Chains A and B, each alone.
Chain A
């Protein structure tokens, strides 16, 4: 069974700090990787996609991918209370995405 693992949290960070969210996956041949944000009671929304090793930055968000270590992470700089949500890591397989259970982030003022 191909798996995606995330620490369930909660990860608590003060406002303005960097939040670091991590994800490991088991399928070595995976080619596409995604981070979704899900507010309580709402559907997931895409934050970042990454396909190549290294870093990809978009505003306050940076996704990092290391295929050799089968590891993908999301950094949120200058965290805001509005970033408080569950962050889902998803890994692309053939024909479908495999989702982790999510990490709950709490940003406190």
Chain B
């Protein structure tokens, strides 16, 4: 079964903790993305990566970090510097590879719901 998996489904963070959200895809897609969605809001781009070992900041990167060591994996770390991390986090991927090309269809994982205790 091809697709995008995210884990965990629910995550609870204490104040001052760093937590890492997992995103894995077996679609052989080059590009991967992380979004944050707050209740009643649209999707805001945190980070994206178009090729292995390269990633770019999105619109709200502060307090987050990523890595792209493998094509299949794009984990997101929510650091203690992110003051309001409670949100629904969505990972997506698309075929597009070369930087500077028009973005094509993105497919989403099931999401991780992060709550700060």
Q: Which residues of A contact B (CB under 8 A)?
A: 31-32, 34, 36, 42-46, 49, 88, 90, 92-97, 99-102
B113 to chain A, nearest CB (A): 8
Residues of chain A within 8 A of B42, CB atoms compared: 88, 99-102
Encoded as 1 (CB less than 8 Å from any A CB) or 0, chain B from 44 to 77 comes to 0100101000001010000000000000000000
* Interface bracket on B: 20 to 34
- Asked if B105 is at the interface of the complex by the 8 Å CB criterion, the answer is yes
A103 to chain B, nearest CB (A): 11
Residue A43 contacts which of B56, B99, B105, B109 (CB distance < 8 angstroms)?
B109
- Asked if B2 is at the interface of the complex by the 8 Å CB criterion, the answer is no
Residues of chain B within 8 A of A90, CB atoms compared: 106
Is A95 a contact partner of B108 (Cβ separation < 8 A)? no
- By beta carbon, the residue of chain A nearest B103 is A92
Is A95 a contact partner of B100 (Cβ separation < 8 A)? yes
- Asked if B41 is at the interface of the complex by the 8 Å CB criterion, the answer is yes
Residues of chain B within 8 A of A34, CB atoms compared: 105-106
Is B100 a contact partner of A46 (Cβ separation < 8 A)? no
Is B45 a contact partner of A31 (Cβ separation < 8 A)? no
